Amino acid sequence: MPTPPDAEGVSCELYRRPDHASSSLLRDLAWLALTPDLVELPPPIPCAGRPTLQELGLHKREHEESLTKWLLTLSPALLATASDRRATRLGHYHERLWHILLDHAPGTRLLARNVRIFHNRTTLGELDMLYRTRANPAPIHLEVAIKFYLGLPEGPGDATSSSRWIGPGGLDSLALKCRHLHRHQLPLSATPLAFTTLSQWLTPRDTLACPQKQPATALTQRLAMPGVLFYPWHASLPSPQGATDEHRQGLWCFLNDWPDLVASFATPFTLAWLQKPHWLAPPHQSAFHPENIVMPGIRQLIDQRGPQQVMLYFPDQQRLERVFIVPNSWPHQVPLPVSLQD
């Protein structure tokens, strides 16, 4: 199977390598660096977006090292730090990839990760990461989340409500995640308690360059929230409020509707099952097989475990398509809308 020239932004050079753990990690790192965020949070949180390629020192026009060239210099030993076979949680894997990017890219340095903020021995929360750029020694607070949400044609709120976009397990929603980021995770780093913690933890040249009495709002806040929004195949649904124009998209369908979805495609395709935590970059060509060979096993997984994500490759169009296939009774539960949780 020839690899599409731009598989979700990942250079085809990374797909020419043999299919082993290091190659998969390199593709996931590239996907992470290039994938747009799902949403932009509303004011008043003064939060900027994700670290850019220019900040990382991997922008072609500004630096000699392009992203792909830099990735190919990473050692297998370093990549192994993100590849724990016992860990299948997508969020943990995603964070470890960010650690590698921020700590080893030419333009940034990782200062700390999972910094706990305490008050009287009570943990108020954690700051995902602190990093700084080559151009500025002041620490930057980065919160990260990777999310795959399926949109409900009918559900809480109006058609554009982010409460209608829920995780495949039905326990999370885009609205709840954004509220938690907006009200708790991002404001935490602007509190006096956080400032005290950071001032004590960081080395002298890393401490915030502001007087002791100045509030900790001098700490820059950033958010990286890549992922995919899956639109229902059987109904139309607009994008949720706050979604970025360039967010990655897929489809979802009920298991009973899968044959009709297949029949709707004008050209043949091959199929790959995406196994956690490798839901990021498209898999190597060796993972794609004819639909009639792969689907019996996927049907069993859906019956036993619930929704499953697959990727379709259309060689005639040099195109990839993500699809979540869900049980016919899905969802078993829908998170309450934010307004009812307040």
How open is the CA angle 102-104-105, to the nearest 5 degrees?
70
In a domain, 1, yes or no: no
Among residues of the chain, what percentage have pLDDT more than 90?
Answer: 57
Give the tens place of pLDDT for each residue, 110-146. 999 998 887 777 777 889 999 999 888 788 899 999 9
Report how far apart, in Å, the C-alpha atoms of 29 and of each of 4, 76, 174 are.
18, 13, 24
In a domain, 312, yes or no: yes
Domain containing residue 293: 6-341
Cα distance between residue 82 and residue 97, in whole Å: 6
pTM of the model: 0.90
In a domain, 194, yes or no: yes
Given a cut of 50, whether residue 215 has pLDDT beyond it is: no
Give the tens place of pLDDT for each residue, 15-41. 877 767 788 999 999 999 999 999 988
Can you give the three-state secondary structure of the chain, one letter per residue? CCCCCEECCEEHHHHCCCCCHHHHHHHHHHHHHHCCECECCCCCCCEECCCCHHHHCCCCCCCCCCHHHHHCCCCHHHHHHHCCCCCCCHHHHHHHHHHHHHHHCCCEEEEEEEEEEEECCEEEEEEEEEEEECCEEEEEEEEECCEEEEECCCCCCCCCCHHHEECCCCCCEHHHHHHHHHHHHHHHCCCHHHHHHHHHHCCHHHCCCCCCCCCHHHCEEEEECEEEEEEECCCCCCCCCCECCCCEEEEEEEHHHHHHHHHHCCCCCEEEECCCCCCCCCCCHHHCEEHHHHHHHHHHHHHHHCCEEEEEEECCCCEEEEEEEECCCCCCCCCCCHHHHC
Cα distance between residue 326 and residue 303, in whole Å: 9
Position 85 scores a pLDDT of 61
First to last CA, the chain: 51
Q: Which amino acid is at 322?
A: R
Position 135 scores a pLDDT of 84
Q: Indicate the burial class of 165 (C-beta count within 10 angstroms; 0-12, 13-18, 19 or more).
A: buried
In a domain, 116, yes or no: yes
Given a cut of 90, whether residue 288 has pLDDT beyond it is: yes
Backbone angles phi, psi at 259, to 5 degrees: -60, -40
Cα distance between residue 148 and residue 176, in whole Å: 14
Q: pLDDT band for position 9 (50/70/90)?
A: confident
Position 204 scores a pLDDT of 54
Q: pLDDT band for position 216 (50/70/90)?
A: very low
Position 43 scores a pLDDT of 66
Cα distance between residue 325 and residue 250, in whole Å: 11
Give the tens place of pLDDT for each residue, 227-266. 999 999 999 999 999 999 999 999 999 999 999 999 999 9
In a domain, 42, yes or no: yes
Given a cut of 80, whether residue 53 has pLDDT beyond it is: yes
Q: pLDDT band for position 200 (50/70/90)?
A: low
Report how far apart, in Å, the C-alpha atoms of 88 and of each of 82, 135, 197 are.
11, 36, 31
Name the more confident of 66 and 257.
257
In a domain, 141, yes or no: yes
Given a cut of 50, whether residue 340 has pLDDT beyond it is: no
- As for how many domains the chain has, the answer is 1
Q: pLDDT band for position 209 (50/70/90)?
A: very low
**Average pLDDT taken over every residue of the chain:** 86
Position 240 scores a pLDDT of 97
Q: Angle, to 10 degrees, between the axis of helix 90-104 and the axis of helix 21-34?
A: 80
- Tell me the HSE value of 288 on the side-chain side, using a 13 A CA sphere: 19
Cα distance between residue 178 and residue 242, in whole Å: 10
Q: State mean pLDDT over 293-313.
A: 97
Given a cut of 90, whether residue 158 has pLDDT beyond it is: yes
